[in-house]
Structure 1
Amino acid sequence: MGAGAAAAQLCIAGLAAAGAVILARLSASLNTARAGAREKEETLSLLLREFEHDRAEWLWQVDGTRRMRHVSPRFAQALGIEAQAAEGLPLIEAIAGEGWKTGALPASLRDLAERLKRREAFSGTIVRVQVDGAARWWELSGTPICDEGGRFAGFRGVGSDVTERTENAQKVARLARYDQLTGLPNRMMLNESLRRAMTGAASPHGHCAFLIIDIDRFKTVNDTLGHAIGDGLLLQVAQRLRAMMGAGDMCGRMDGDEFGIVITGDASAAAVQAMAAAIIERVSRPYDIDRHAVHIGLRIGSATYAGNAETGELLMRRADLALERAKEAGGGVHLAYEPGMQAEADKRRALEHALHQAVDNAELDLQFQPVVDTESERIVGFEALLRWNSAAHGRIAPDVFIPIAERTGAIVPIGEWVLNRACEEAAKWPAHVRLAVNVSPEQLLHENFTQALSHALDNSGLAPARLELEVTESVFLRDGAAVQATFRRIEGLGCTIALDDFGTGYSSLGYLRTHRFSTIKIDRSFVQGANKNSAESVAILRAVVALADALDMTTTAEGVENDSELENIRRLGCTRIQGFIFGSPMDAREARALFGQGGGAGTR
């Protein structure tokens, strides 16, 4: 072999050796990369397990095509399928159920799909999903992720099943807009419907009308046949009214035995009269309730809006004025509002005048009703209740004179008197006993309210923490910013605020989100409903109690009158009780005497 051939062989051998080294290095690098990827996946799986351990949440991940990856056992359990089967499935398809095939996806699920498509981060999104054929509610948060090269690689996030919380919230939210007994819209919803109708009737020839219906002899039915028959009557009246509504019209329960109707179609005087006559004829027909034949009458007042500058509240007041005249005229009567009715109302100003003089004439007095701890049955506070014994008119019921005081502004000086007198009395009680005082919206929003409150506390020496001011849900129909500002000033003084009569007219979870109350007072109607084994009442009570517990609020059940109601309320978890079972309203001397019976022991 020549020298040239030998040199060539040596060159080839060198190149082969170098190639083998390069291949070996590439193979080693590849193996290292694969091992690193496996290590990353194992690390991710470990993190998933550690995160989900002892937590209600689970982690989820999708790739760039929105298919599920690294499905953890907890996420698979939420999906209702095995983790291996879930791997690689499109997320939206997996949680859409039948809606995926039909295209009828819930709005929340469509919104989620759009966010994923737009590669947009989201947090706390509530979506309605289908798992094993059942509807569930999930709360999802997600953030886009990128690979090592900075390319979009999908989403990773956290989720949890919030079905129970969401359904409870929906029940409480429904409470804000519908009457619990009849299922009809409540006063708040009627008010909103009337405002919309008036907006639609703002054209020169537009009309809408509002009717208020009062049941004649309802109190007699309640007193003679019992509240169960009375409730049954209200339910059947609601059913008859609902069946008579035209397209766009709305009927609802205003309060007690009063119903309201918003007419948005033909609201001419003749049409309203015909509607009222038909309601009186049909709704007044006899009722058969639990084998009792019940006969009632109706009185109706109405007011029509014809596109002028009237407000919804003014239209309701005019209908109410007409109703008062209809009541005076007897049963089975409908009267439409007339300007002269205002003159008739002016005749009642004598009572208003007397009320303005009530403080100076020493005609007002306070009574106190015990509030007790549910478990120990020991007195933890009293609610101050205002009474008026007029020299000219005799004893006047609070539901008569309080609205007059609010309407005329007399509630401000009267409210100041109540605060001063109640604080003076409460300062004589044991230090652990608190005082609750009702405050009307007009009084609360008066410019001098917090000054009057501070004055009452300073003069009496009562510790501010012992005073709880009760407001009703109607306060939230006022200037929201002013209400919140006043709340902050009250709490700045050291007092607390309770939400009274929760669920009777305007309640919403929004109120509880915007302000942290110390106490939620649950209306007696729910106490009665729970005692009758009403599933709806029990569910709502549980939801309210759970909500209050979560927000660190106490709950007071109002109007508890017997042992059966007491046991139900105790079982449902209310923290405090107020009602005749522990004591009717009493004068200051009687209230003080209770503390001589064991230092604040229960009154039973």
Structure 2
Amino acid sequence: MNNKDLARKAKQPGARGFFGNISSRIGSQPSSEPGSMKAADALALLQNFEESGLGWFWSTDASGNLTYITESVAEALGGSSAELVGTPMVSLFLKPDDNESGSRTLPFILTKKVKFNGLEVQAANDEEECWLSISGRPYHDPSGNFLGFRGSGSEVTAQRRQSLDTTRMAKYDSLTGLANRASMTKILETTLAAYQAQNRTCTVMFVDLDRFKQVNDTLGHPAGDELLKQVAERLQKVVGKAGEVGRIGGDEFQIILRDCDDRGVLGDLATKIIGSLSQPYLVGANRCIIGASIGIAISPFDGQSREELVKGADLALYEAKGNGRGRFRFYSKDLQQSAEERRVLGEDLKHAIIKEELALAYQPIVNAKTNIVEGFEALMRWNHSERGIISPALFVPIAEDTNLIWELGEWAINRACRDAASWPGHMRIAVNVAASQFANERFPKLIDDALKQSGLAPERLELEITEDVFMAETNEMDALFQAIKSRDVRLVLDDFGTGHSSLSHLQTAPFDRIKIDQNFLRGATEPGSRNGALIAAIVALADALGMETTAEGVEALDEFDLISKLNVSHVQGYVYSDAVSNAELLDNLDQGQWTIEPSGPTHHRNERLSMYRKVRMIHENHVYSIVIRNLSVSGALVDGLYNVPVGTKFVIDFGDGQLAVATVCRSHRNQQGIEFETRLVSDGNGGLCTSRRVSPYLIAEAGLDVPNLPPGYVPTRKIDTDSLSLPAFSTVADWEATKVKPK
């Protein structure tokens, strides 16, 4: 823009902004006067400033319509200066969606006729994003009449984007793009604060990756970072719009689910997440397999505050990982004690070998056609000096968490080889090897030392490994397989078909036997089950590759008949024998051979959990104390009441807000078989729970104590004792009291 353009604009009606006033001053004075020279210099300086692109000027009349605007910024706003003069100033900019400036919006400021500085506005032009910072002040005539605004501005698009990037970095994880810990904390606190007032529910899931550390250790941190990105994508895909997903650090993720407390739905979602995250990943040229464990806590049942809910989910996660990983766990009140017990057991496990508390039991592996025992699997047992027998399902995960798995594995291999060397005949001994132990570079030497010290022939030793060893498929792993096979030791692929299976494993790794996971057996004999076809396919594959097959966990005769027809070569399970001590084993091998006839229940039935659990049973307005003897998803066997008619309806109070409506379907003296109106669901830890729980608010209103609600949080209802009727049934104590004692 030159001086002629400025002069032309100065002559236009209403265009007496910055340069209009200056031009009029120049035109009214001789050019030789000092004031004229100063004004000309000022005009030139302002013109140069505009042309530099560092800033721009604008002015409006008293109605807020533009009287001047720099040409360059006019183009950015979607027109020329001449086209925009006369249009409302506020029409050039978008109204903030989130009211970023509070009440300091441009229309508000122009209406109030006040000075303003550095107001950021977005151009209404749709072609590309453009942000401007504008400042202005009102001007008046000598009589004090408001004439409009004069101001300046500058483009701040780049600065704005940089600020947004900085803000995003503060809220989102830079690696995965998910919300970070700080952002998830704020979301959860805000949600809980709002939902408490509305008596609504909110669920928190903690997702922790299993065996992720091995990826970092074997493939490096860049591979680990790429794996985390893929995990984030899978999580977002599974959760979708149902909740918020964030990464709270390392390989831990958090999910917030609003208005969802159905534990059946939550369990299904957790199972789906675990299944998705456990599928193989392709990281560069490497194929990786990891897993996931999940802890779940629900507000208001498991806590009111963010701290309580997070602690509950964390304890549930700890329990899930401690019970074998690859599973989910709901929070319950006993988890704090369980976590402390696991910590103490971890300390005790460090001394178990020295104190000679560990032992091996041997479960027969039987030829399905001849019923002759051809080998044994070594199963570790821990006889704690104070607590008695502790399940491997409990202490093996503790060993992995406390880095004791190598020490325990070394002891087991040495003891098994030494025992097997004393057995008559040529029966093999199978020893389970953890993935971390197998991948250790010291492992081949451990095998050499065990065989040398025991004198056991290498071909009699079988190493059972799971597909966890294929989590990171590298050349080093292939070399390790070849190193083990070069020693004539046999390799067994354990738990085949549990979700990580790949035919490439069987093609590349030199396995001698495949163990069919017992999950394939469960329900295989039921009508409509496809498990039999899957077992047949595994057997056919193994036969084609020259491998033996073993079905583990066979308990019922109908299962045994099925796998025999499907030509599974070996069987392991209660249908033949439980694990026995080395002394019992030697007694049965007295003649150098052990033949076992299969025996057991005729048919496999759905699992029922045996227990002795005291609960409350409610009938009308009376509460009885009863005992659950066994429990399934559809019903239970209870005792504690006498002569209850079939068809009587009860409400079973399992505690912690778990209420189930049940009908008596069988009754004999003090025992009743009951059927639930709504099936129970898995609690993620081998137990059962109700799908939904009664809100603590409702329980408090009914006059009962609620652990997660402070006294007085909800007004309690006073119970009218005058309205209570007589009890309908007798309890065991009542019945005993009425018996006539002999003289």
- TM-score computed with the length of structure 1 as normaliser: 0.46
Q: Which has the higher Rg, Structure 1 or Structure 2?
A: 2
Higher helix fraction (1 or 2): 1
Q: Larger RCO: Structure 1 or Structure 2 (Cα < 8 Å, ≥ 6 residues apart)?
A: 1
Q: TM-score, normalised by structure 2?
A: 0.38
